[in-house]
Chains A and B, each alone.
Chain A
Amino acid sequence: MPPSFKLEDIPDTVVRLPAFPGVITELLNDLDDDNSSMLALARHVERDPVVTGRILSAANRMLRHEGRPEVRDVYTAVSLIGFSRIREIVLTTCIVCFTETFCSKRFFWGHSLAVGIGARELAATVNVDPNTALVAGLLHDVGQLWMSYFYPLEFQHVRLQVEVHGKEVCAAEREHFGFEHGQVGEIVARHWGLPADVIAAIANHHTPDESAAKNKLVALTCMAEYIANALDLPPRGVNRVDVLSLAIFQTLKLDWSEDHSDLLGAIDARYQYASMIFT
């Protein structure tokens, strides 16, 4: 039985979700300005020691792997790893910490990481900021977090329909909720003040036809999800590639009849590397 819930009621519920890390929005707003980004990072470090500890933990895993001494503060990490890499670590770690507050994080996280890395890799080919692409990919299924948080039973029914009966995820969601996770994600992302193109990517990653033609971030988030599923990253029984939107190919100017081993290999290997750093 679907819950008696309407899409227009969702904004009132967003405040009851775990607090979204504001540093993500701040860093995305200041991507062109390293000084502003550094200030946003410093403010966050001062007020959230738990997340700061996780950022240092991820940074130290990377430094250990690189044979370098570990660090005890973010500023030293910046000097050793470089600000752009630390910004990437902060964005990813904050989203890991955030999703860990949800019961469905294990289901959510591996797939989101793969799509985030794929989007980041594709971004380089179409002149989109890689950090914005990373965040769009990491958060593309955030509507499912809302579903699992407020309606865990209905969400489990959706998973069952998808995983056992092979039903298409958006169709199963419409049946159980009356709406799709892209629609929920759009409302939630807007409430968090994420950039407009990230909101569009979250909203339209399953329905890209019209928006992908106008918005490269929608196209590359959608393509990144196709690639993650096609490469089975992470391995899970529900990875499927059913349809491809022509608009995505046209927007990204991707011709798959050419050799794209480098792109697929980069996404595959970077995903394995990130899994080691962030999980």
Chain B
Amino acid sequence: MPTRQRYLPLFAVEPGMILVKPVVVAERGRVVLSLSAGNALTESSIAQLRAHHAQYVCVSEEDTRSNMVREQQIAAQAAQLETIFRNADLERPELRAFYDAVRAYRLV
């Protein structure tokens, strides 16, 4: 099963999702919670994240979409981005780099 990386608000996170980026929560300069990348989230670790006011995490999850649905969603996102940037001069390198960065983030 393919996976995809997502940045999710904590209320959308479920046990079994794999942390892609480590989470380090510090309070008053002291590390109070540290979760390593590669670990699967559990009920307990999600509760800990909530208790320490974490708002989001970067996880990978199984991509349960069919190939057709995935391609349709990516095409829809690409079309939407083209609309948003339709008046932008993408020959300008800084604007092109910004557009490409947003595409890389959105088209998954």
Contact = CB atoms under 8 A, between A and B. Distances in A.
Partners in one complex: yes
A238 to B, nearest CB: 10
Chain A facing B: main interface SS: helix
B12 A272 contact: yes
B101 interface: yes
Interface in A232-279: 232, 239-244, 246, 249, 255-257, 259-262, 264-266, 268-270, 272-273, 276
A269 B5 CA distance: 13
A261 B21 CA distance: 11
18 contacts: A65-B10, A65-B11, A65-B50, A66-B50, A67-B51, A230-B99, A239-B84, A241-B85, A241-B95, A244-B92, A244-B98, A256-B98, A264-B7, A264-B101, A264-B105, A265-B7, A266-B56, A272-B56
Give the bracket for the number of chain B residues in contact with chain A.
35 or more
Contact of A241 (B6, B53, B84): B84
Interface residues of A, number: 37
B66 interface: no
A227 B11 CA distance: 23
Most chain B CB atoms below 10 A, which of A226, A232, A270: A232
B78 interface: no
A85 interface: yes
Most buried by B among A68, A81, A82, A261: A261
B91 interface: no
A163 to B, nearest CB: 13
Interface of A: 62, 65-68, 81-82, 85, 226, 229-232, 239-244, 246, 249, 255-257, 259-262, 264-266, 268-270, 272-273, 276
Contacts of A67: 47, 50-51
B80 interface: yes
Contact of B84 (A66, A232, A266, A276): A232
B51 A66 contact: yes
B55 interface: yes
B58 A257 contact: no
Given A230-B102, A265-B58, A240 B87 contact: yes
Contacts, number: 102
B84 A264 contact: no
B43 to A, nearest CB: 11
Contacts of A262: 21, 58
A262 B101 CA distance: 11
Contacts of A241: 84-85, 88, 95, 98-99
Given A66-B51, A229-B84, A273 B56 contact: yes
B88 A276 contact: no
B7 A268 contact: yes
B55 A256 contact: no
Contacts of A229: 84
Nearest to B5: A261
